[in-house]
Chain A
Amino acid sequence: MKEYRTITQIAGPLLFVEKTEPVGYGELVNIVLFDGSIKRGQVLDTSDEIVVVQVFETTAGIGRDSGVRFTGETIKMPVGKEMLGRILSGGGKPIDGGPEIVPEKRLDITGAAINPFARQSPEEFIQTGISTIDGMNTLVRGQKLPIFSGAGLPHNDIALQIARQARVLGAKESFAVVFAAMGITKEEANHFMADFERTGALERAVVFLNLADDPAVERIITPRLALTTAEYLAFTLGMHVLVILTDMTNYCEALRQIGAAREEVPGRRGYPGYMYTDLASIYERAGVIHGVKGSITQFPILTMPGDDITHPIPDLTGYITEGQIVVSRELHRKGIYPPINVLPSLSRLMNLGIGVGHTREDHKKVSDQQYAAYAEGNDLRGLVAIVGKDALSERDRMFLEFADLFEDRFVRQGRDENRSIEQTLDLGWELLSTLPVEQLVRIDRGLIEKYHPKFRKAPQAAAQAAQR
C-alpha cells in the first residue's frame, strides 16, 4: 500500500493531504507516526489536488513527516456472535483483555436505509416494569424512544433499569443489549459495567466505550459501530436487540467540532446544517422488517443543555424519534425516582402496542384519564401558589391531591421494582378511584364497572390482594 508524506496542513482533527492517487470518499485511512504507531481516520473530502482526512484519535504526534496510507475501502467492522459479552473501545478494539473478534462478516458501518416498503409496523409491547413508561408512554419493539434528561439527573439509572427489566410478554426469544457510551466519564462507565456484571446482563451485551478523555472525533463512529453490530445481531442472527446510546449530546458536540474545523457554514447554535440528516442516519437504524425475526429498539439518552427542550439537539432528535421520555429536575428534587414527567413525554407508537391482544382493554382509557387528571392537578398547583389552597373548590382540591398521589405512588418506584403491566394499570385505577366516578369522563361506563375498585366484587378484590 502506497504511503504518502504530503500532509500540508493539520487543523484540529483534520489533515490535508496533497498529490495523491485518486482516493475514495469515506475511505479508511491509516496514519503512520514516526515511531511506527498507527492512527485511523476517514476521508471527508477528496479531489485531485487535496484530500481531507478526519482523524478519529488525537492528532498529537502527527506531523508533516507522518505517512498516510489510504486503505481503499470504506470503514468496515468485523462482526460475529462472539461479540456478545465483549467490551470494545469507541473505535471497536477489544479493551477487556480478550482476543480480537473473529469476524463472521465484515460490514460497512454507515449501513443502508431500510426500505420503507420492507418495514413492518412495530406493535409488540415491551414491558419495562416502569409504570410511567408502560402505563403512560408505552414502548414497542422497533421503536426509537430517547430519554431527554439534564446534567445531574439519574437518566443512567433509568436506562439500566430498562435494560435489566425490558421483556416482551409471554415470549421466550433471544435478545441482546448493545451499549454505546460516547464521552461519558470513567465513573459513569464503571457504574454501567458494575450493573451489567451484577445482573449477569454482560453475557448478552456488547459494550462500546468512548470515555470523556477519549478522542472526541472517535464519537462519530461509536454509534455507527454499535448499530452495525446491532443490525448483525438482529437481522442476521434474529435476536431482539435493545440499543442504548449515551450521551448523544456529546456526539453532537463532536459533530460541531468537525464542522468548525472544516470551516463549514454553521446552522443553529453553531451545529452543522446537516445535523438532522446525520442524526437520522443513526436513529433510523431501528425497526422491524417483514419476514425477519429480529428487531432493533433504540434508547438514545441525551442531556439537554440548560434543560432546554428547544435546543437543537433535543429538538432535531424529537423530530426523528417516535416520542421522548422527559426526565424532570423538579421531580428529582422532590426525591422521586424515576423522575419521569409524563406531561411532556410521549410515545408516538403507543397506540399500536396497547389494548386487547397487547396489554389490556382499559389501557388507553386509564392512561388518558390519568393524564388529564394529573395535568389538571398540576395546573392547579400554580393557582394554589397565588390564592392558597383554601380558595379552591372541593373538586379542584381533589385533583390537586390526585397530582400529589400520582407522583408519590405511580411515578415513584424502586430501582429494582419491576411492575407488571397489570400492576401498573391496577395502580392507576386505585389512584383514579380517589376521584368521584362522575369525574372519570374519559372512561366508558362499561370499563368503569369492570375495573373500578368500587365496582369490583369484594371476593375478587380479596383474591387479588391475597395474590400480591
Chain B
Amino acid sequence: MEVKEEKTIRGASGVLRRISGPVVTAVRLEAHMYDLVKVGREELMGEVIKISGNDIIIQVYEDTSGIKPGEPVVNTGLPLSVELGPGLLKSIYDGIQRPLSVLADKMGNFIERGVSAPGLDRSIKWDFKPTVKPGDKVGPGSILGEVQEMNIIHRIMVPPTVKGGIVTFIKAGKHTIDEVICELDDGVKLTMMQKWPVRLSRPVVEKLNPDIPLLTGQRIIDGLFPIAKGGTAAIPGPFGSGKTVMQQQLAKWSDAEIVVYIGCGERGNEMTEVLTEFPHLTDPKTGKPLMERTTLIANTSNMPVAAREASVYTGITIAEYFRDMGYDVSLMADSTSRWAEAMREISSRLEEMPGEEGYPAYLAARLSEFYERAGRVKTLNGKFGSVSVIGAVSPPGGDFSEPVTQNTLRIVKVFWALDAKLSQRRHFPAINWLNSYSLYLDILHDWYAEHVSHEWNDMRAWAMEVLQKEAELQEIVQLVGSDALPEEQQITIEVARMIREVFLQQNAYDAVDTYCDMTKQFDMMKAIRKFSDLAYAAQAAGILPQQVMSVKSKNDLPQIKFIKEYKPVLSQLLEQMDKEINALRGGIQ
C-alpha cells in the first residue's frame, strides 16, 4: 500500500481514439490503472479504468458530447485524490470533491463541464498552533499541531506517505493551507493540506474489535439492534418509510464527532431538502449548527455517472482522514444501490461479461471493499478513532433478493429493516423488530453489562422473546379474536404492546423523547418488565387480566417518555403499581 506523493509524469500526453458516452479510449498514452487524466481540449476529468494492449480506457466524470477522436489526453500521473485539511467541514461537494458553491459561482445554476475547482479554499487563513517543536521526531501520521475549525479541533498530521524525521522548522500563526508550516531534516516541506487517493484506504496501526456501541439515543437501535463504533449497517429505504428522518436522527444524536453524508444518485429536490435542512439542524450537544461538524457530498441522479461511482470513495476517504485525528466518524451513504447501478452502467459500456442482473461480476468485491474501510482503529499517531458506515439500499420493486441488497447483507453486521407498513400505521421509527438484526450483540455484551447494568443483556433477550411470542400469538388472534386466548397469553400480548408503544415508538419531534440515553432506556424496560412480573403473578393468583391491565399506573407509564427528569415520576408510578396490584390481590382474598 505504498503511495508516492508526487510521481513524475510519464507519457504525459496521448490522443483519443474512440468516444462512447462516458467511456473513452485513448492511445499513445502511458498510463497506469486509476491514473487521473484530462480528456480533450476542454480538459474533462477522467480516470483510467482498463488497459487493453495500446488502448487506455477512461471513464470521464463529465459529459463527453462534442469530443472528437484525435483530441489530446493528458495523464496527470496521479490517482484520483481528495484534498484533506482545514475547510472540509461545512462543505458541500460533488462526487469528485468540487465544492458546489464554487461551481455555482463559476458557472451559474447549471453544472457545465470543464470547470475545475479545488476541494479546499486556498484563501482562508487558519490559526495553526504547533504541538511539536524543532528537534522533535515525527513519523508518518504524527500530529504536528492544531487548528480550531469551528467546534472541532482539526489536527494537522504528517501525511502517511512521508517517512518522517526531525522537525527543523515549525511556524505558528495564521496560514493558508498551501503555505509551508513545517520542515523536516530530510528537507521535506509540509503544509496543512495533504492529498490522498480515494480508492486506497488510509493506513492504520491496527484494526480493533468494535466493542463500544455507537450510541444514537434511539431506543430500538441502542436497545435492541445496536451498531458498534466502527461498525457497518444497512437500511433499506422503501417508499415513504421515514428513511430521511431516521438518517437525520442518526446524524444529530449519534455520539460520533464528525458526520459525512453522501447523497449518491438521489433526487435533486430531495438532496436540496438535505442541503437546506442540515444547516438548520442544531447540534444538540453544542447548540451550534450541525453542519459545523458535517461534510456533505451530493451527486444527484442526473449528474455524470462516473462521478457518482467515485462519490462513495471520496466520502469514505474524508471520513478516514478525520478518524486518523482520533475522532469517531459516522458516514451515511444514500444510496449504495445507485452506486452499484453506476458500476453496472460503466461495466456495460466496457462490454464486460455481466454477472447477475447485468451487474458486474466484481460487484460483491467492490461492496465488501467499501464496507471494510469501516472500523475502529489505532491510528498511526496512537489515537483511537472509528468510521461507522450506514449504507442505504433501495431494492428495485422492494425485492430484497436482488444482488445489491443480498451482497450488502452478506457484509454488514446490522440491518435496520425500515418497513413502510409500520410507517403507514404511524409507528415511528418504522424499524421492523422481527426482521432487523445486529450481529454486534455478543461483542457489545460486556460493554452493556459494565456501563448500563448487568441485567441489561437478559432484559434485552426477554423483550425480544416477548415480541417474538406476540407475533406468533397475533396469528391466532386474527383467526379467533383475542378473547379466545388463555389469560396468560393475553398478558403476553399486552406486555408486547407496551414494549412496542412505550419502548420502541419514539417521537423524533418531541424535545425530550427525541433522545433517550441508556440509563433511561434501562429504566423504561425495567418498568415494563416489572409490570409483566406483577401481572403474571396476579393472574396466577386468580385475578382477571383485564383488571390488571387497567391499573392506572400502567396506563400512565408512557408519559415518562416526555419527561426530562423522569426518575421521581417513574419511582412514584412503580410504587403505585405495587399498591394497585396488591389491592387487586387483596380484593380476591
List chain A positions with a Cβ less than 8 A from chain B. 22-27, 44-48, 73-74, 108, 110-122, 142-143, 235, 264-268, 272-274, 276-277, 280-281, 283-287, 289-290, 292, 309-310, 312, 315-316, 318-323, 346, 348-349, 352, 368, 371-372, 375, 442
Contacts and interface: CB of A to CB of B under 8 A. Distances in A.
B28 to A, nearest CB: 12
Nearest to B342: A277
B60 to A, nearest CB: 10
A202 B301 CA distance: 33
Contacts of B341: 273, 276-277
Given A315-B396, A319-B394, A23 B68 contact: yes
Given A25-B19, A265-B358, A284-B302, A113 B110 contact: yes
B351 interface: yes
Nearest to A321: B267
What are the 10 tightest A-B residue pairs by CB atom distance, in nearest-first order?
A310-B397, A47-B18, A280-B301, A26-B65, A284-B302, A117-B100, A112-B110, A22-B68, A25-B19, A267-B358
A218 to B, nearest CB: 19
13 contacts: A23-B68, A25-B66, A46-B68, A73-B66, A110-B63, A115-B111, A116-B100, A121-B272, A276-B345, A281-B302, A290-B109, A315-B397, A318-B239
B403 to A, nearest CB: 11
B302 A113 contact: yes
B17 A47 contact: yes
Contacts of A108: 65
B572 interface: no
B34 to A, nearest CB: 22
Given A142-B269, A143-B269, A115 B18 contact: no
B101 interface: yes
Given A27-B66, A315-B396, 14 more contacts: A24-B19, A24-B65, A117-B92, A117-B104, A272-B348, A273-B348, A273-B358, A276-B265, A309-B397, A310-B396, A318-B239, A320-B267, A322-B269, A346-B240
B269 A119 contact: yes
Nearest to B337: A319
B268 A116 contact: yes
Contacts of A112: 63, 110-113
Contacts of B426: 368, 372, 442
A310 to B, nearest CB: 3
Contact of B357 (A120, A121, A267, A290): A267
B10 to A, nearest CB: 24
Contacts of B396: 268, 310, 312, 315-316, 319
Contact of B301 (A110, A119, A121, A276): A276
A280 B71 CA distance: 29
Contacts of B424: 371-372, 375
A243 to B, nearest CB: 15
B109 A235 contact: yes
Interface string B62-76: 011111111100000
A274 B267 contact: no
A349 B67 contact: no
B501 to A, nearest CB: 13
Interface string B419-430: 000001010000
Interface of B: 17-21, 25, 63-71, 92, 100-101, 103-104, 108-113, 239-240, 263, 265, 267-273, 275-276, 298, 300-303, 305, 338, 341-342, 344-345, 347-349, 351-352, 354, 357-358, 394, 396-399, 424, 426
Contacts of B303: 113
Contacts of B276: 121
Interface of B is mostly: mixed
A265 B301 contact: no
A74 to B, nearest CB: 5
A204 to B, nearest CB: 24
Contacts of A114: 109-111, 268
Contacts of B110: 111-115, 118
B240 A289 contact: no
A281 to B, nearest CB: 5
A411 to B, nearest CB: 19
A348 B18 contact: no
A352 B277 CA distance: 12
Contacts of A23: 68-69
Given A47-B17, A285-B302, A289-B109, A117 B354 contact: no
Contacts of A45: 18-20
Contact of A117 (B63, B66, B275, B342): B275
B64 A115 contact: no
Nearest to A73: B66
* Most chain A beta-carbon contacts within 10 A, residue among B18, B70, B275: B18
Nearest to A26: B65
A319 B266 CA distance: 8
Given A114-B109, A442-B426, A349 B302 contact: no
Given A116-B100, A120-B272, A346 B19 contact: no
A320 B337 CA distance: 13
A116 B69 contact: no
* Most chain B beta-carbon contacts within 10 A, residue among A115, A287, A309: A115
A160 B347 CA distance: 41
* Most chain B beta-carbon contacts within 10 A, residue among A110, A111, A276, A285: A276
A276 B266 CA distance: 11
Given A25-B64, A117-B104, A280 B302 contact: yes
Contacts of A117: 92, 100-101, 103-104, 275, 298
B21 A25 contact: yes
B271 A116 contact: yes
B270 A284 contact: no
A368 B423 CA distance: 11
Contacts of A287: 268-269, 272
A285 B109 CA distance: 12
Contacts of A119: 268-269, 271-272, 275
A18 to B, nearest CB: 13
B307 to A, nearest CB: 10
A118 B65 contact: no
Contacts of B18: 45-48
A265 B275 contact: no
Contacts of B398: 310
Contacts of B64: 25-26
* Most chain B beta-carbon contacts within 10 A, residue among A73, A122, A235, A348: A348
